[in-house]
């Protein structure tokens, strides 16, 4: 039996923040006490915040490690382990690694299949106990593609798929209602000419008309086969949200308008927004600002999206904005745990999994001092 006591800590509990201590035995929280006393052998947290480990539902960070530069395919074992260590270092203890399924093999602006091979390598490293934190898969099902059905058929219930999100990046709607924003993004990333971009847009629209409805139906069916939570992506209108609700969706990733976020709440759908949007003060695609939704009480969950260190920073910003640190931290702990069906983590309470982080604020900026997973320090 192993026991660790975190004492003299500012504990971030589900509904309040208080000075106290918590006891961990064999990877599980066994007691939470109030007061600043430091028993012999305990870790003196000196007033630092101790909170649940962060739960990340949607991050593209693994893709960044796999391809650090355009056309550079980095060795995957090294990339996966570096990604895992980076997340542990910024306080993430559970991650749903986002991987796109659905490819466009040919033509300007096309992209190749990668998710099945990469996920297999990730799961093999997990089986070897080579990873510091808990990894699940998040399949981003791109309905505007050619190969979605074939790619999703390669996965099954054994693959730890926690989330399937319905993605539709057809130009002129959802995230890219403003096609000029898409042009800047794609031409910068793919180095297309004006003529190639026009061809790319035409190909995507034709593909969506031809295959989109069948792909969407298949993704909904496959998510059920995997036992995964189904999420929407970039809902923009009441009509989009109505379709999402019809599919049984309970998680909306990055709705692009206040209208859509309000409709999500009316349907009992949790709203997730990106931490970079909150920190930067707006969306890089010109969509609704996360701060606007927060001020209107329409923001439930935060994702780091493409900057892992943004997750904790955004949660603390929300705690300051709402004058309720427990509520702010819940957007990256308890709320994502509930949305993804993980009942064993995301809260400091007796019986919960001891995934914990110790955080100091240095000149106002939250900084992770220690990360613990099931009672073992990993960063």
Residue 211: the pLDDT is 81
- What's the rounded Cα separation, in Å, for the pair 193 and 165? 31
Residue 341 in this model has a pLDDT that exceeds 60: yes
pLDDT in tens, 190-247: 666 767 667 667 777 777 777 878 999 999 999 999 999 999 999 999 999 999 999 9
Q: What is the mean pLDDT of the chain?
A: 92
pLDDT in tens, 130-177: 999 999 999 999 988 889 999 999 999 999 999 999 998 666 565 566
Q: Where in the chain is the domain with CATH 2.30.40.10?
A: 1-52+345-379
CB atoms within 10 A of CB 96: 28
Q: Are 317 and 278 in contact (CB under 8 A)?
A: yes
Which is more confident, 284 or 340?
340
| Fold adopted by 1-52+345-379 | Urease, subunit C; domain 1 (2.30.40)
Residue 257: the pLDDT is 95
Half-sphere exposure of residue 129, counting CA atoms within 13 Å on the CB side?
2
Q: Where in the chain is the domain with CATH 3.20.20.140?
A: 54-340
Query: Alpha carbon of 157 to those of 134, 160, 226, 272: distances in Å?
Result: 17, 7, 4, 25
Mean pLDDT of 247-272: 97
Report pTM: 0.91
| Fold adopted by 54-340 | TIM Barrel (3.20.20)
pLDDT in tens, 285-327: 778 999 999 999 999 999 999 999 999 999 999 999 999 999 9
Residue 188 in this model has a pLDDT that exceeds 60: no
Residue 283: the pLDDT is 84
């Amino acid at each position: 039996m192993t026991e660790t006591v975190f004492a003299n800590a500012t504990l971030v509990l589900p509904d309040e923040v208080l000075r106290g201590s918590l006891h961990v035995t064999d990877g599980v929280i066994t007691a939470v006490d109030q007061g600043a006393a430091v028993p012999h052998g305990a870790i003196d947290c000196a007033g630092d915040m101790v909170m649940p480990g962060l739960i990340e539902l949607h991050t593209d960070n693994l893709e960044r490690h796999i391809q650090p530069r355009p056309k550079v395919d980095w060795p995957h074992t090294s990339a996966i382990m570096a990604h895992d260590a980076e997340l542990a270092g910024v306080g993430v203890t559970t991650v749903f690694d986002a991987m796109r399924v659905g490819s466009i093999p040919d033509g300007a602006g096309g992209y190749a299949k990668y998710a099945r091979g990469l996920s297999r390598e990730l799961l093999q490293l997990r089986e070897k106990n080579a990873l510091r934190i808990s990894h699940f898969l998040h399949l981003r099902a791109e309905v505007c593609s050619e190969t979605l059905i074939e790619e999703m058929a390669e996965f099954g219930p054994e693959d730890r798929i926690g989330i399937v999100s319905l993605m539709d990046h057809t130009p002129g709607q959802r995230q890219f209602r403003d096609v000029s924003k898409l042009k800047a993004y794609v031409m910068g990333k793919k180095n297309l000419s004006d003529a190639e971009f026009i061809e790319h847009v035409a190909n995507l629209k034709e593909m969506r008309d031809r295959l989109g409805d069948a792909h969407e139906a298949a993704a909904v069916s496959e998510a059920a086969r995997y036992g995964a939570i189904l999420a929407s992506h970039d809902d923009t209108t009441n009509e989009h949200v109505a379709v999402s609700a019809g599919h049984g969706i309970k998680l909306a990733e990055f709705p692009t308008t206040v209208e859509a976020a309000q409709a999500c709440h009316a349907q009992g759908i949790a709203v997730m927004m990106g931490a970079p949007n909150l920190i930067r003060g707006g969306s890089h695609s010109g969509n609704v600002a996360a701060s606007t939704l927060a001020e209107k009480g329409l923001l439930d969950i935060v994702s780091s999206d493409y900057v892992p260190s943004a997750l904790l920073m955004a949660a603390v910003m929300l705690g300051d904005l709402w004058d309720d640190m427990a509520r702010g931290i819940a957007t990256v702990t308890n709320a994502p745990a509930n949305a993804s069906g993980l009942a064993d983590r995301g809260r400091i309470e007796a019986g919960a999994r001891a995934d914990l982080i110790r955080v100091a604020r240095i000149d106002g900026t939250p900084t992770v001092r220690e990360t613990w997973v099931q009672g073992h320090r990993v960063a």
